[in-house]
Structure 1
């Protein structure tokens, strides 16, 4: 029997599909692929074809109080970055769809496919040695770029680590760099490197992106070890350990709010390992 919540979710997804068609038509594009929903169906996207080639059409909806700020404009703000293979936003439009606000973006298409259909990895990704080298180079270039955007601030890190771990870890970050902010496997393309979804990018503790990718790899130990080898010089620093613990807290909070709970034991185990290493 279909529940009221399931019916509401289906109505929301149907409405998002209609908004996507409306956005594509506004950009002069015809949708040519199946729509892909983002985290908790707050976004939807699909390829569109027009007289000047193919683009990716993406629609986000939020209540007006949230329809501004870094996450709202992150993809287009990222056009200021260089040296990272990412889509370029070529057109943006917004409109009211009471009680929500809609933002639609048309962006360049990158070659390849996402390396996982979910945020967490459950199989070996199609990523060769060149891909790993390109990822490291891209994140190093990103880290060096200046921005006034913030992915996560000291106040948030201090509060989160204190709530979860008490005084077991000093929360004070000593080095800040520019980060993607949500680097999981559904945001990465292969076999040629591409990095998607720049909503949350900004400054964060050094090693934040490595920590995020590592924690999303715990479901596939072989790849988790490959991430560790690629970024050991960041992950094994005091800021890298803080970043890993912060990412763990963020993922655990998402589980509390409805994400897959089967990942929780892996996250708790990794947190204990990190804290045990700190106490030695």
Structure 2
């Protein structure tokens, strides 16, 4: 059975990204020891690696067109090195950039224990977590919220535009409180059984409750997990800004789900957003 032109192009791009990972490993003097893992739409590739001292690391390469390979999103993971040490996250040990029509950025980071709570952003099944895990998550988000930064995850114009494009002009958009947020808190970026947070590209100032709102929206297909998130973060999710944060998170996730043809997630997100917008 033959392959479509899109499938052939994807295969070639995946092979090219594997080559980029090998080039980065050679430049940064590490050996790739794990199977490569691709990020969203093969924009990035990462794998376990080992340095000369025998230390386990994580090597990641992201590729972008030149117009996107700049600004705070491009350096977010390294910028997160300046966050309080009590926030469990990878520390970027070194970077390497090069270009060949596209721009590549390699980051060598510390490797956290544990594994992602889900292989997907929006899981279909529940993953029960102990009280201590939820407590650490809440403490981490509280510490992050109170951290000063000039980075911006989303401003009022971005929030308003995204919500109204998706849920209409009648949906509430005004943000009363702002805080520092992770900005991409889905279940594939959260580690267990030992807590940790991955994916710091987009962190910065955003609506209060953004992270709780996104985690709730990423739990719509896992009922017990949805109830657990709601019970842990009800105090912020039930505020006016918390509802706006949910609409913003639902709109962002809906766009991603539709592009990935995740129809069940898209349907649940649209319903959730419409209920909030009434």
Please confirm whether the aligned pair reaches a TM-score higher than 0.5, indicating the same fold.
yes
Using the TM superposition, give the Cα deviation of residue 246 of structure 1 relative to its aligned residue in structure 2, in angstroms: 0.9
How far did residue 265 of structure 1 move? 1.7
Give the Cα separation in 1 of the matches to 2:258 and 2:266: 10
CA distance in 1, matches of 2:60, 2:76: 13
What TM-score do the two structures reach when normalised by structure 1?
A: 0.95
Match of 1:45 in 2: 46
Counterparts in 2 of 1:119-134, with a 5 A limit?
119-125=121-127, 127-134=129-136
Aligned equivalent of 1:232: 234
1:133 deviates by 0.5
Among 141, 144, 153, the alignment partner of 1:142 is: 144
Using the size of structure 2 for normalisation, the TM-score is 0.96
Following TM superposition, by how much is the alpha carbon of 1:33 offset from its aligned partner in structure 2, in angstroms? 0.5
Q: Distance in 1 between matches of 2:14 and 2:112?
A: 25
Aligned length: 275
Two-structure CA RMSD over aligned residues (Å): 1.2
Contact 2:167 2:274 in 1 (8 A): no
Q: 1:87 aligns with which of 90, 93, 99?
A: 90
Match among 58, 65, 68 for residue 66 of structure 1:
68
Structure-2 residue corresponding to 1:12: 13
Deviations 1:91-147 (A, max 9, x none): 001011x21011000000000111100111222225211111000000000000011
Supply the distance in 1 between the matched residues of 2:194 and 2:232 (Cα, whole angstroms).
17
Structure-2 residue corresponding to 1:28: 29
Q: Is the Cα–Cα contact under 8 Å of residues 36 and 45 in structure 2 kept in the other structure?
A: yes
Alignment of 1:1-280 (within 5 A): 1-52=2-53, 53-82=55-84, 83-96=86-99, 98-125=100-127, 127-276=129-278
Superposed displacement of residue 173, structure 1: 0.6
- What is the distance in 2 between the residues matched to 1:128 and 1:170? 35
Checking the alignment, whether the CA contact within 8 Å between 1:126 and 1:191 is kept in structure 2 is no
Alpha-carbon distance between aligned partners in 2 of 1:134 and 1:255, rounded to the nearest angstrom:
29
Matches of 1:141 and 1:272 in 2, distance apart?
Answer: 32
Deviates more, 1:83-92 or 1:161-170: 161-170
Determine the C-alpha separation between the residues in 2 that align with 1:258 and 1:74. 24
Separation of aligned partners in 2, 1:126 and 1:95: 42
Distance 2:139 2:261 in 1: 31
CA distance in 1, matches of 2:64, 2:168: 34
- Assess if the C-alpha contact under 8 Å between 2:254 and 2:266 holds in 1: yes
Aligned partners of 2:126 and 2:223 also within 8 Å: no
Q: Which runs of 5+ in 2 are unaligned?
A: none
